[in-house]
Amino acid sequence: MKQPDFVSDDHDVILMSGEREAEAFIASNRVVICFFTAPACSVCHAVKPCLIELAKRYQLPVMLVSVDQYVAYAAQRLIFTVPTVLIVHKGREISRESRYINFEHLERTMSLITNQPLWHNINT
């Protein structure tokens, strides 16, 4: 899951270190969860641990992109607000959640692309 040449934080989240590296990471993984955030965004801080936990359940990598640091990359991906979560499958965006993150929708998408049952249905 985690590539050795990419920088990760203490939660195994890949930190974007440049546009080329981000595109290489997306190209080297079948599915990537891209989390666009800003340091001053309190909602982003609340969403991050929930997103990381959900991605871990489905064994999917998360790439964190600071829109303050990578303005042009965020603009290329049409990110106009944070938090924004993109699910990228085989290099193409297949799901987008912005501002009010619908975790049930994200989980359904993750379940479909990984061919795994919905986690919350198993444990309820």
Q: What is the signed CA dihedral for 31, 106, 93, 117, rounded to 10 degrees?
A: 50
CA-based nearest residue to 48, from 16, 38, 88: 38
Total-model pTM? 0.85
Count, residues in the chain: 124
Asked if residues 78 and 36 have their Cβ atoms less than 8 Å apart, the reply is no
Cβ neighbors of 5 (< 8 A, separation 6 or more) are: none
Domain 14-122 has CATH 3.40.30.10: yes
- In order along its 124 residues, the chain shows pLDDT tens digits of 444 344 555 557 899 989 999 999 999 999 999 999 999 999 999 999 999 999 999 999 999 999 999 999 999 999 999 999 999 999 999 999 999 999 999 999 999 999 888 765 544 4
- Omega before residue 83 within 30° of 0, cis: yes
